[in-house]
């Protein structure tokens, strides 16, 4: 089942093969923050900022999640890295 990034009911990203792929996209986009819960362990855990959600989605016509992931991976390799 493909996954995408949503805000309310609006699909904001392309579909990707796994939920983990969308988490990676969200991190790179600056949408992931560390949250600490007093009820759970004191170590921070990643959460999506501003009510964004990652959830299963329907594919658009002719959309290929595997191609979307390959394109994103290729773009990442081509981006210059700042050190």
Domain positions in the chain are: 3-78
Q: Is the pTM of this model over 0.75?
A: yes
pLDDT in tens, 41-70: 667 778 898 889 999 999 999 999 999 999
Q: What is the pLDDT of residue 65?
A: 97
> What mean pLDDT is predicted for residues 27-51?
80
**Sequence-ordered list of residues with C-beta below 8 angstroms from that of 47, at least 6 positions apart, any chain:** 32, 33, 34, 35
Angstrom distance (rounded) from CA 49 to CA 32: 6
Residue 82 DSSP class: P
Task: Examine the pLDDT at 38 and tell me if it is beyond 70.
Answer: no
Q: What is the pLDDT of residue 82?
A: 67
With a pLDDT cut of 90, the percent of the chain lying above it is 64
């Amino acid at each position: 089942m493909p996954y995408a990034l949503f805000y309310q009911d609006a699909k904001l990203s392309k579909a990707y093969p796994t939920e983990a792929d969308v988490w990676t996209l969200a991190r790179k986009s600056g949408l992931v923050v560390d949250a600490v819960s007093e009820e759970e362990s004191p170590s921070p855990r990643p959460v999506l900022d501003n009510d964004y959600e990652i959830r299963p989605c329907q594919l658009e016509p002719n959309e290929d999640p595997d191609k979307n992931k390959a394109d994103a991976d290729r773009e990442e390799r081509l981006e210059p890295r700042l050190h």
